[in-house]
Amino acid sequence: MNNPQPWWLTQPVAEVAAAILPLFSQSAYQEDRDARVSIGNWFKTGSYKSRFGTFDPLKDPDQRAITEAIQVLEQARLLVRIFLGDQSHVGLTRLGMHALQTNTVRQHLGLQGPA
């Protein structure tokens, strides 16, 4: 039986990063773990909302893909990570906001053409 893997596991990490960046525009910042769980829900349901739960992000292939995509967005300076107490939070940088407003996210990630 043919059981293809989901797109976020088969596409280049920069493609996954380009797809998830708009999700960060819904709030000024989010707790890192909560953002990754919410993105995982969005992958599977198309609905992005905060959700709490426990998980090991390096053992779950979906969470690993999300973590790698967030890292690419940070390296492109489209997302920033801040630490408040013992929690890290991620949010859009000014460049990330500009990239969304001008529809240039893919170019900032070194991708060519439309998705």
Question: Alpha-carbon distance 58 to 41, whole Å?
Answer: 17
Domain 13-44+56-108: which topology? Arc Repressor Mutant, subunit A (1.10.10)
Q: Which pLDDT value is given to residue 52?
A: 44
**What does pLDDT average to over the chain?**
86
How far apart CA 11 and CA 64 sit, in angstroms, is 13
Instruction: Print burial letters for 13-32: b (CB count within 10 Å at least 16), e (below 16).
Output: bbbbbbbbbeebeeeebbbb
pLDDT tens for each residue of 65-77: 998 999 999 999 9
Q: Where are the domains of the chain?
A: 13-44+56-108
* 29-65 tens-digit pLDDT: 778 888 888 999 999 999 887 544 455 666 788 888 9
Provide φ and ψ at 61, rounded to 5°.
Answer: -60, -35
pTM higher than 0.85: no
